[in-house]
Amino acid sequence: MKNVSFDLKINLTTLIIIGVIILAAAGYFANRHNSLINELNQEIRLRDALSDSVRHYQNREGLWVAEKLTMQTTISRLEEIREDLTEEQQRLLDRINDLDKSKRVIAAALIHANIRIDSLQHAGETIVGDSTITFKDEQEHLEYEILVDNVALIDDDLMPNLYFQKLYFPNETFVEFHWQIDGRDEHPVAFSVTHTNPFIQTHNIESYVIPEVRKDILEPTGWDRIGVFFDRNKFYFGIGVGGAAMYLITR
């Protein structure tokens, strides 16, 4: 009977050791799998951002919004593919590198906006002088004061002159980063710009955010929280399994 008990104990010990090895291997490969998945998703988000173009749409307030996907990767990765970047993307990278010497950049954007007036008809105040005419107007999105000299052609040898004494475009710009909801679990980050002045139009946007800005980290679901809990406490779980194994072995 003693020999049978000893054999059973040896077999149980072997099974426990094998189980611990399997758990350790499973944990290692699970972490490696998650790491590879994150790297793959990061490359997919970067590829999509590099090939994306600006989208324009009106928000609920009737203001025009310009939106584009954000480059979400490391600075070193952008340096590796510098030759594939556009001129504006390279300028953004250079500015980030300059700032990164004194502070770590979390997010940055380079916005190319133009003032565009397709047509403008004066409808404000007109002041006629002896040889000048002044055009003045103050609208919600445009203010100007223009002085035209020598309009009476006092001297036929002088051409009329035009002086822009005031041309002002009141504007408020709102910028924000957000998750791009596209049906994927790994939501990419998008950057948008909104101007209150319709004369100011966003031509292009190039933006950057560090790869740690992820929805499963900042806004985790219940399953994400469970996964993070096990990942952070895997060392203690290993100690627990090992302790339980030693207890069963030495009983």
Could you tell me if 43 and 109 lie in one domain?
A: yes
Task: Give pLDDT tens digits along the chain (251 positions).
Answer: 445 554 545 565 666 666 666 666 666 666 666 667 777 888 888 999 999 999 999 999 999 999 999 999 999 999 999 999 999 999 999 999 998 888 888 999 999 998 887 777 788 888 888 888 888 998 888 888 988 888 776 777 776 666 777 888 899 999 999 888 765 556 788 999 999 999 899 999 999 998 888 776 666 665 555 555 556 555 555 555 555 555 555 55
pLDDT of 192: 94
Q: Is 217 contained in some domain?
A: yes
CB atoms within 10 A of CB 209: 21
66 and 178 both lie in a single domain: yes
pLDDT of residue 229: 54
Separation of alpha carbons 106 and 218, rounded Å: 14
- Are 133 and 92 part of one and the same domain? no
Instruction: State how many domains the chain has.
Output: 2
Helices then strands (H, E): number in the chain? 6, 11
- Least Cα distance to 237 among 226, 249, 221 occurs for 226
Do both 47 and 82 map to the same domain? Answer: yes
Regarding whether 203 and 99 lie in a shared domain, the answer is yes
Give CA separation, 183 vs 170, 180, 186, 187, 229, in Å.
Answer: 38, 9, 9, 8, 26
pLDDT at 160: 67
Range of the domain at 203: 2-117+172-250
pLDDT at site 244: 56
225 located within any domain: yes
The answer, as to whether pTM is greater than 0.95, is no
Residues 86 and 48 reside in one and the same domain: yes
16 Cβ neighbours under 8 A, 6+ residues apart: 245, 248, 249
In a domain, 122, yes or no: no
Residue 92 lies inside a defined structural domain of this protein = yes
Residues 193 and 153 in one domain: no
pLDDT at res. 8 = 47
In a domain, 109, yes or no: yes
pLDDT of residue 164: 72
φ, ψ of residue 35 to 5 degrees: the values are -65, -45
Q: What is the 3-state secondary structure (H, E, C) of 141-172?
A: CCEEEEEEECCCCCCCCCCCEEEEEEEECCCC
112 and 185 in one domain?
A: yes
**Contact by Cβ (8 Å): 202, 116:** no
Q: At what angle do helices 2-51 and 234-250 cross, to 10 degrees?
A: 170
Assess whether 102 and 154 both reside in one domain.
no
CA atoms of 108 and 79, how far apart (whole Å): 16
